[in-house]
Amino acid sequence: MSTPNSHPRETADEAVRPLRIEVPQSQLDDLNDRLRRVRWANELPRDQVTDGVQRGPVTPGWEYGVPVEYVQRLVEHWRDGYDWRKWEARLNEYPHFTTEIDGQNIHFLHVRSPEPDATPLILTHGWPNSIVEYLDLLGPLTDPRSHGGDPADAFHVVLPSLPGFGFSGPTFEKGWNRHRTAAAWAELMRRLGYEKYGAHGNDVGSFVSPELGRIAPDQVIGVHVTQLFSFPSGDPAEFEGLSQKDIEYLGFLQKFNEEMSAYAKLQETAPQNLAHALADSPAGQLAWSAQLLNALDDEHVLTNATIYWLTNTGASAARFYYEDHHAEHPTEPTTAPTGLASFANDFTPLRRFADRDHKNIVSWNEYERGGHWSALDAPDLLVSDIRVFFRGLK
């Protein structure tokens, strides 16, 4: 495997600059002031909302969306107990950089392994998450020797903030979809001196990473994801021979999509309608993120919301959905060696449809625990799956 140059190459157009995260106290004071003046949304009384009947994936008490009680509890902690400076210090334990690619500022962590022959690996986070999604994996991935693993499974990790997300800052041009992002990742890895590397992604990252394998087949040794978003095309022939279990599962996926995808529909069609509320209300930003992050611990939810708030990237992150929805997507399947790690409480595709879209699936593992944010609720399983997948490609 290739190793990075002793220092990233720098030219007038390709400079890679170190970054230290240092938020001015005035911004934190403004956030705290807004949290003290929050005006709460109204909602129906709980006894009218919760009738004791579980409806699909919806949590009782959440039938109409994120409850006021949940937001109030987290806002109180955000205001009176949460310590951004602690998280800022933790983030700064890792080397941060920025560079401009295709007119867009790109922020990334570049954590080199102590093992010189480590495999370069680029990780892509999801929405409404951030680089914080993968912080707990950096140690086990880069230094397996210190985490009970085989040093042969070490990785040099590159962890970017998606364009328009977090410390990459807002996007200022149209077209930042999965394809343009994948092209930026290919350039980033070239700029860092990596000739061969792997890619892993979750959520949005599960869209971007296969495209990176598509556009850089000579560089990407394999693509590992936690979802393969493959659905029926509408051709009746695709349903021939499906088992009753598969048909029931398709019904579940349809129900899940109908009940849980309102955020995606809005962001695909009119993200600016939401942007004003996200830019003006930290409680609103928190609630919008929490609709998908509420199963995670409070510290993660608040750190993530703080990053979106401080960088004012709620609007540009939402625009990613619009740009991707309005993009032209290739119809031919991907061919890079592909591995899926699917977790119990997450979307799992039917193999028939996944094979239609990805012609070189060489690893497919389904786990009995973990959820959509497996890097946070099943990190041991995810790290093991990544290691085994790339070990098989060496």
Is residue 138 pLDDT above 80, yes or no?
yes
pLDDT: is 217 or 255 the higher one? 217
Task: Say if pTM beats, i.e. exceeds, 0.85.
Answer: yes
Confidence band, pLDDT 50/70/90 cuts, at residue 375? very high
In the chain, DSSP assigns E strands to 16-19, 96-101, 104-111, 119-124, 155-160, 197-201, 220-225, 338-342, 361-366
Annotated catalytic residue 322: no
Residue 49 has pLDDT above 70, yes or no: no
Among 96, 200, 300, 372, which one carries the catalytic annotation?
A: 372
Question: Dihedrals φ, ψ of 247, to 5°?
Answer: -65, -40
Place of tokens 């962890």: 159
**256-293 per-position pLDDT tens digit:** 777 778 899 999 999 999 999 999 999 999 999 999 99
Burial tier of 49 (Cβ tally within 10 Å: 0-12, 13-18, 19+): middle
- Active-site hit among 321, 324, 346, 357: 321
Q: Which of 102, 176, 128, 203 is nearest to 325 (CA)?
A: 176
Higher pLDDT, 103 or 253: 103
CA 127 to chain centre: 5
d(CA 62, CA 80) in angstroms, rounded, equals 25
Q: What DSSP designation does 117 have? A: T
Coil vs helix vs strand at 353: helix
Residues 6+ apart with CB under 8 A from 123: 134, 137, 157, 158, 159, 200, 201, 205
Phi and psi for 214 in degrees, rounded to 5? -70, -45
For 51-100, write each residue's pLDDT tens digit: 544 444 455 588 889 999 999 999 999 999 999 999 999 999 999 999 99
Catalytic residue among 143, 153, 203, 324: 203
Long-range CB pairs of 68-76 (<8 Å, 24+ gap) are 68/40, 68/41, 68/42, 68/43, 70/290, 70/294, 71/40, 71/41, 71/283, 71/286, 71/287, 71/290, 72/40, 74/286, 74/290, 74/298, 74/301, 74/302, 75/35, 75/38, 75/282, 75/283, 75/286
Given a cut of 80, whether residue 7 has pLDDT beyond it is no
pLDDT digits (tens, 9 = 90+) for 150-197: 999 999 999 999 999 999 999 999 999 999 999 999 999 999 999 999
Sequence-distant (≥ 6) Cβ neighbours of residue 24 within 8 angstroms = none
> Cβ(380)–Cβ(356) under 8 Å?
no
300 catalytic? Reply is no
Report the distance separating Cα 118 and Cα 5, nearest Å: 13
Rounded distance, CA 89 to CA 248, Å? 48
203 catalytically annotated: yes
Separation CA 305–CA 60 (nearest Å): 24
- Terminal C-alpha separation, the chain: 8
Q: Which residues pair with 108 in a beta bridge?
A: 97, 160
Domains and CATH numbers, the chain: 68-391 (3.40.50.1820)
Task: Please report where in the chains the tokens 């210090």 appear, as a residue.
Answer: 89
Q: What is the mean pLDDT of the chain?
A: 92
What is the three-class DSSP state of 23?
Answer: coil
DSSP state of 87: H
**pLDDT tens, position by position, 358-368:** 999 999 999 99
